[in-house]
Chains A and B, each alone.
Chain A
């Protein structure tokens, strides 16, 4: 079993739709959680950190469920510019180990 698992997609949704991704992790001792966005052939960039209480940044909401060991990302009112691959990232007890999921590809159509 992979340490961090994501549905690879692709998710193909119309502009304005709400879309949600989940990501599961296997190490219950994981301490830090992030969502990164990666555009085609470019470097990943931080979208948002995920906090225990959940957090929101504009149209994006991230949630953490420690009991079930998953994190989620919700995108509301999706835009064409949201088309990208979304990487789930889970960190251990130190900076030395952060593990990336394989990514979920999202495509927003007009």
Chain B
């Protein structure tokens, strides 16, 4: 079954404590990305990756890091989380052609206190 798996689904943490949200896809997709979703703002892209070892900033990259050491994995790292990073996060993957569908993970609801 084609899927994108994110972990954890829910996370409450304290300001400044480093955390990593994992994302893995089993479709051999080249393209992976991270979004955050906030009320009234829709989905905003944080970082994306076109392939292994190729990553680039999206629209709201501040405070986040990513890595793409393997094709299937694209972890999101918050080195020093702050309360304004409280949000719903989605990882997505898609193939390289323009009209291909994006598959999303189930989301990670992060609360930073």
Contact = CB atoms under 8 A, between A and B. Distances in A.
A and B are interacting partners: yes
Interface of A: 8, 31-32, 34, 41-46, 49, 87, 89, 91, 93-96, 98, 100-103
28 contacts: A31-B98, A32-B99, A41-B107, A42-B106, A42-B107, A43-B104, A43-B105, A43-B107, A44-B43, A44-B90, A44-B104, A46-B101, A46-B102, A49-B101, A87-B43, A95-B30, A95-B31, A95-B50, A95-B95, A95-B96, A95-B97, A95-B98, A96-B31, A98-B94, A100-B35, A100-B42, A102-B40, A102-B42
A100 to B, nearest CB: 4
A42 B99 CA distance: 23
Contacts of B88: 41
Q: Per DSSP, are chain A's interface residues mostly helix, strand or loop, or mixed?
A: loop
Contacts of A98: 94, 102
A43 B43 contact: no
A40 to B, nearest CB: 11
Contacts, number: 54
Contacts of A96: 31, 48, 50, 56
Contacts of A95: 30-31, 50, 94-98, 100
Interface of B: 30-31, 35, 40-43, 48, 50, 56, 88, 90, 94-102, 104-107, 109
A101 B98 contact: no
B42 to A, nearest CB: 4
Nearest to B42: A102
A55 B53 CA distance: 38
Nearest to B95: A95
Contacts of A41: 88, 107, 109
B17 to A, nearest CB: 24
Of the candidates A42, A44, A93, A103, the one having the most CB atoms from chain B within 10 angstroms of its own CB is A44
